[in-house]
Structure 1
Amino acid sequence: MSLPLITKPELSPNQQALPIVRDLIARREQLQVAVHRVRGATVIDCGIEVPGGWEAGLAFASICLGGLAQVKLQWADFGGLRWPGIEVVTDHPIRACLASQYAGWFIKKDKFSAMGSGPGRALVQTEELFTKLGYRDSSPVAIFCLESRKLPTEAAVDMIVEKCRCEPSDLYILVAPTASAAGSVQIAARAVETGLHKLMELGYDLGTIESGWGICPIPPVAADDLSAIGRTNDAVLYGATVHYNLRDDDDKLSSLVGQIPSMASRDYGDLFGKLFKQYGNFYDIDPLLFSPAEVWLSNIQSGSSFHAGSLRPDLLTSSFGLEYR
């Protein structure tokens, strides 16, 4: 399994995301974000000491996807629950979602820690994932998207610069807490990525996948980050639908599709917050749970499409704390 066209600079996630970063900086007042200089790097606060918002979250998600996906906010129907959602469409699913968007680098330096996503991961190359993908980005610019309640310290920025082997002035770091409007949006934008990661865990050859399309409800901002982790996971597990175009054998796809959705997990049917309390940590939760609620596989070779999973508006209503009058 490898990424095609890995040497083309026009497909560099860091290069493609840079214009979106610059636009976010230029519209900082409009999008309610703050721009800081830390050790020469540009750090953009999207919801810690500033309000941020849905539009900031939209930019955050687009940047996190390496500028290789169309991302749109819209109202949608989630199994009878009409609610704001985010739609992601990409013809570069592996590069945009796994090589860029996936939260695969745990950044820790002294007292600062954060989950690291974004195009810059393909420069750092500390994850086994990039060995599997056979991919390395080549870019003088490095862009990271962090899920954190704190801005990175000077020591953390120095470490990231060293890992990326870039100039401090070429490093851009976006930060948003889980419990923020931007945080809700950017996590809900991970449905396509979540499905791809599940397929990889199942041992499927991702090289057959040509495009991905997903939609997921955007959870209301929770009172605290731990509650927000529950809501954002529930949004994907019980509200997200993904669709992949690929080329493979129909019999293989027919037997595969039922293994992809969250309902294939032993832990399916409980809210994520309840599961976290039950197990006491993330690592004992069934890893097969982390999947979209509903999956479509369309075989370009045969014209056949295969479906599995279903939306759970009842669980979304409970998780999101929705009250009807």
Structure 2
Amino acid sequence: MSDDAPGHAMDTGSWPSIGRLALPLVGRLVEDAHMLRLEVSRSPAGATIVDAGIAVSGCLEAGRRIAEICLGGVGTVSIAGGDMETAPFEVCVRSPSPVLACLASQYAGWSLEHGKGDDAYFAMASGPGRARAAKEEIFSEIGYRDAAGTACFVLETDRPPPVGLIEQVARDCGLPASALTFVLTPTSSLAGTVQIVSRVLEVALHKCHVLGFPLEHVVDGMGRAPLPPPSPHFVTAMGRTNDAVLFGGEVQLFVSGPEAEAERLAASLPSSASSDYGRPFAEIFEEVEADFYKIDPMLFSPARVLVTALQTGRTFAQGGRSPVLLARSFGFPQ
């Protein structure tokens, strides 16, 4: 979309420490653990482990708070009334600095692996701690690394991280294990449902990056997506949370730069631009035998996007929400 490599012109020197901004949010989550039906424990080396849905039930409010932690304290998440029968409530997300909040923090971009065979552990880490470790290419692209004295990670998992993995993460962050917090949010849990759906703005930012849109041109953004019913079955739960974004997500981005770039971005962003669009995600996932890499990466996008060109004030809208596909995914009578 542009001859400029994404992120090269970003003024990240003025960006705040997302680790420091998220720290009080983490503190309040731990402090209110009983009220939020969470369980807090310590690893042998002193890392804080917050169970938000494995051995305890968790709750929607916990998921909302965890989503704001995922945003590195640079965004707000709320649950409000929706406008579709299949989804009477929705998750709403806003950030005044979408690249920092979504790509430097919320994006589940750090692959954590430990052990082999039956003892193998795998999880994708999101949250502000990613910017402390800065192990991913995105951080060199945008020119940002956090220097906070603590690191928080959110893992979409149904198992606590093993001791060896915690020690490795501590080394990668250059911090003692006691400075780390791991928040565990299973896909099938109430908290996990909210924190996954709250990624509606993040998937739009990630696709902007994949499409080569200059990230420094993304000035502001907000999004919403329906809150699906959770399911105790992993594939069903994963399908519903993905479909909430693919078929019900709506995002508006406010961008600088030429109007023509904003128009081209709007045309490419919606999930309907993908060849895999049109069926519930769980069906696609089972068809490719649980191999994410066989799914068109362009599918992971909001259903409807609006891109406002600040240079001219024109807004370009593409895509559309699908109550029929949402009802099919969410298990509502049709």
Q: What range describes the TM-score normalised by the shorter chain of this pair?
A: over 0.9
Deviations 1:247-306 (CA, angstroms, capped at 9, x unpaired): 121222223311110000111101111111222211111111110000001111211111
1:14 Cα offset (Å) = 0.9
Summarize the Cα distance change of 1:7–1:132 in structure 2 as closer, same or farther, 3 Å threshold.
closer
The alignment status of 1:42 with 2:52, answered yes or no, reads: no
- AA in 2 matched with 1:287: P
Q: 1:112-127 maps to which residues of 2 (within 5 A)? A: 112-127=121-136
Which string of whole-angstrom CA distances, capped at 9 and with x for unpartnered residues, describes residues 140-163 of structure 1? 111100010001121121111111
Change (3 A) 1:139 1:8: farther
TM-score normalised by L of structure 2: 0.93
Report Cα offsets for 1:2-52 as digits up to 9, x if no partner. Answer: 58553457x211111110110011111110101110021111111101110
Trace 1:248-259 onto structure 2 (pairs within 5 A): 248-259=257-268
Counterpart of 1:289, as a letter, is L
Q: Distance in 2 between matches of 1:35 and 1:5?
A: 38
Q: What is the rounded CA distance, in whole Å, between the counterparts of 1:303 and 1:285 in structure 2? A: 36
| CA distance in 1 between partners of 2:11 and 2:188 (Å) | 37
Instruction: Give the ranges of 4+ consecutive aligned residues of structure 1 lying more than 3 Å apart after TM superposition.
Output: 2-9
Q: Equivalents in 1 of 2:233, 2:87: separation in Å?
A: 25
The 2-side partners of 1:37 and 1:143 are apart by 14
Distance 1:82 1:230, change over 3 A: closer
Aligned to 1:87: 92
Map of 1:302 onto structure 2 = 312
User: How far has the Cα of 1:323 moved from its partner?
Assistant: 3.2
CA distance in 2 between counterparts of 1:15 and 1:225 reads 33
Structure 2 partner of 1:275: 284
Contact 1:14 1:143 in 2 (8 A): yes
Helix, strand or coil: the match of 1:187?
helix
SS of corresponding position for 2:294: coil
Contact 2:124–2:155 (Cα < 8 Å) also in 1 = yes
Of all paired residues, the percent bearing the same amino acid is: 39
Q: Distance in 1 between matches of 2:95 and 2:66?
A: 16
CA contact (8 A) 1:6 1:137 kept: no
1:63 paired residue among 52, 66, 69: 69
Q: Look up the SS of the partner of 1:86 in the other structure.
A: strand
Secondary structure in structure 1 of the residue aligned to 2:284: helix
Q: CA deviation at 1:82?
A: 4.3
1:245 matched residue in structure 2: 254
The answer to whether 1:24 aligns with 2:34 is: no
1: CA distance, partners of 2:13 / 2:234: 39
SS of the equivalent of 2:35 reads helix
Counterpart in the other structure of 2:3: none
Q: Is the 8 A contact 1:35 1:45 kept in 2?
A: yes
2:79 to 73, 78, 101: 73
Is the Cα–Cα contact under 8 Å of residues 6 and 136 in structure 1 kept in the other structure? no
CA contact (8 A) 1:219 1:235 kept: yes
Go from structure 1 to structure 2 and tell me whether the alpha carbon gap of 1:94 and 1:179 turns closer, same or farther (over 3 Å shift).
same
Query: Does structure 2 conserve the Cα–Cα contact (< 8 Å) formed by 1:109 and 1:159?
Result: no
Q: In the aligned structure 2, how far is the partner of 1:24 from the partner of 1:225?
A: 25
CA RMSD of aligned residues (A): 1.4
Distance 1:28 1:16 in 2: 20
C-alpha displacement at 1:91, in angstroms?
A: 0.4
Letter in 2 for 1:188: V
- Hey, what's the Cα distance between the residues in 1 that align with 2:265 and 2:22? 33
Report the equivalent of 1:6: 12
What CA distance in whole angstroms lies between the structure 2 residues aligned with 1:101 and 1:213?
14
Match for 2:110: what amino acid? W
Q: Check 1:3–1:220 CA distance in 2 against 1; reply closer, same or farther (3 A cut).
A: farther
Greater mean deviation of Cα atoms: 271-280 or 14-23: 271-280
Unmatched segments (≥5 aa) in structure 1: none
Which 5+ residue runs of structure 2 have no aligned equivalent?
1-6
Query: Who is 2:140 aligned against?
Result: 131
